[in-house]
Copies of this chain bind each other. A is one copy, B any other.
Amino acid sequence: MTDTIERPGFVERNRPGRAKMKAAIFVEKNRIVLDEKPIPDVGPLDALIRITTTTICGTDVHILKGEYPVEKGLTIGHEPVGIIEKLGSAVEGFAEGQRVIAGAITPSGYSNACLCGCASQDGPRMKHGFKPMGGWRFGNTIDGAQAEYLVVPDAMTNLAPVPEALADEQVLMCPDIMSTGFAGAESGKVRIGDTVAVFAQGPIGLCATAGARLMGATRIIAVDRVGERLNVARAMGADEVVDFSKVDPVEEILRLTDGRGVDVAIEALGRQETFEAALRVLRPGGTLSSLGVYSSDLKIPLDAFAAGLGDNRIVTSLCPGGKERMRRLMDVVASGRVDARALVTHRFRLDDIEKAYDLFSHQRDGVLKVAITP
């Protein structure tokens, strides 16, 4: 399935005597700082991108808090918009100066996983007791996008030119938020006429709501407890909203569906409560599409699982990447089907990224996503 893809990481690239750039670096638990490191070289299949806009993801906050381990010194971030600065010697079909994005997940294109229809799982071999996070490399196993420059590996697979008419902020959600959110609806195989519940309306949940709408669900029930998020949810396509601080969401969804339950429930938070509620509102034969990054074991209650006899599916999705996916998502934006600009609530210079982390990690001031510009 997967073959070892070992590339020179950030360490080898930090050779002395090189031109320097600013980068947001993980130092230790609760410390991500803006510091300098050399502008990296490109290998034959790579491209060097000058970042024009990037953002911070909830996963980066997990890294900040030490909940998701990365090596010290790593540059964080996996959502790049930028300009091609330099192309590797074997890269064809692109030109320096092109404006591009790259997905958060960067499939190689040539791994067995990619060739088996599982491009997001393009990682090193599974080891007993540990399954690595698939093809997620930026800000995880190699230096990431919260910097002035970024090396994109397997550039021919991953660089997606941005249509001129689209501003950076219009495509900023494509590399991760929109790709992951839509995947929730896609993996759930939403059909015309489906009823869909989406648990949690953070940026990914909001895009899952938009994705369910895009695919033809006719009754979309968005669940959160933050009033403003429920308002955005309506704007993104929800037909009904459920404030779980006021009502039991399982009871309310069963009431709304006259006891029938939903065809697809999308989990977009990563907690036992939402996972379990998503399972409980499923109709027999329904699908739980899970997007959350969990941080502890999950429990499947026997009754919610119909003792294993409910013809149910639980599916998980890692953000689909690659240039074709990015092309399609930018088409969604360009066609006006979804306007994800509403998700960008705050803007910072890269120089102020530590303030941005402070705001974002404490979820202050109604923040959904921040735009960071070097």
Contacts and interface: CB of A to CB of B under 8 A. Distances in A.
Interface of A: 1-4, 43-45, 88-90, 93, 107-110, 112-121, 123, 125-131, 133-134, 136, 154, 156-157, 182, 186, 191-194, 211, 214-216, 218-219, 239, 250-251, 254, 259-261, 263, 270, 280, 283-285, 290-318, 322-325, 327-329, 331-332, 334-335, 337
Copies assembled: 4
B193 A134 contact: no
* Residues of A contacting B: mostly: loop
Contact of A311 (B108, B118, B254, B331): B118
Nearest to A330: B193
A337 B134 contact: no
Contact of A134 (B216, B284, B328): B284
Nearest to A122: B284
Nearest 3 CB-CB pairings of A with B: A193-B328, A109-B109, A121-B284
The interface centre, meaning the residue of A116, A118, A283, A309 with most chain B CB atoms within 10 A of its CB, is A309
Contacts of A291: 308
A204 to B, nearest CB: 12
A310 B121 contact: yes
A270 B309 CA distance: 11
A139 B307 CA distance: 17
A309 B305 contact: no
Contacts of A116: 285, 324
A294 B311 contact: no
Given A193-B329, A309-B316, A128 B290 contact: no
Contact of A218 (B1, B117, B335): B335
B311 A121 contact: yes
B1 A303 contact: no
